[in-house]
Amino acid sequence: MAFDPVRLSKFLSLVLRHQPEAIGLALDVQGWTAIDDLIARATAAGTAFTRAELEHVVATSDKKRFTISDDGLRIRAAQGHSVSVELGLAPSEPPAVLFHGTATRFVESIMAQGLKPQSRQHVHLSLDEANALNVGRRHGKPVIFRVDAAAMHRAGMAFYVADNGVWLTDHVPSTYLTPCATS
């Protein structure tokens, strides 16, 4: 089958974030796996690709979803895991304001419970409204929340930057959320 970068990216998201066991793969605690092993197991499971094709997907991923280790031997998803991983990110001081895009049907529940990681390991926050809008659109009619990251940070809540620049935190209480007007 011809090389399809989007299809390979989706496959990598599946096995590196959600279901490594689908191809008998093991991730270490920080989410890394050996590239040789990944290619061998994927090929055995019917999704064959080359190292060059993998590198192409990693280099061209619009969201830089995957990271190859400095020695070139291992790969991991930068964020977005549902399997339990400890990415080993150091807490960082966030920008004063971050954004979260979601769907209008979730607003009532979010205002009651705050933002929760749901099936993922963290709540994902965007640096700007345009990105947040794109994230929200994945779920339906989009709405954007402004997150008072500075106040959360002052209150002792930890923030992390993923390998790809996405901001992560454990929970955003609704007191730190303001719905933005959307056009």
Interface residues with ligand HQG (CB under 6 A)?
A: 63, 65, 80, 102-103, 106, 109-110, 113, 115-116, 118-120, 124, 135, 138-139, 166
Q: Compare residues 84 and 119 and give the one whose CB is closer to ligand HQG.
A: 119
Instruction: Name the minimum Å distance from CB 104 to ligand HQG.
Output: 10
Q: Compare residues 47 and 102 and give the one whose CB is closer to ligand HQG.
A: 102
Do 135 and 79 contact (CB within 8 A), yes or no? no
Q: What is the DSSP string of 3-22?
A: --HHHHHHHHHIIIII-GGG
Q: Which residue is nearest to ligand HQG (CB)?
A: 102
Rounded distance between C-alpha atoms, residue 89 and residue 159, angstroms: 9
Q: How far is CA 60 from its chain centroid?
A: 16
DSSP class of residue 105?
G
Provide the β-strand partners of residue 179. 145
Neighbours of 162 (CB within 10 A): 20
Instruction: Name the minimum Å distance from CB 113 to ligand HQG.
Output: 4
Instruction: Name the minimum Å distance from CB 105 to ligand HQG.
Output: 8
Instruction: Name the minimum Å distance from CB 143 to ligand HQG.
Output: 9
Q: Compare residues 43 and 109 and give the one whose CB is closer to ligand HQG.
A: 109
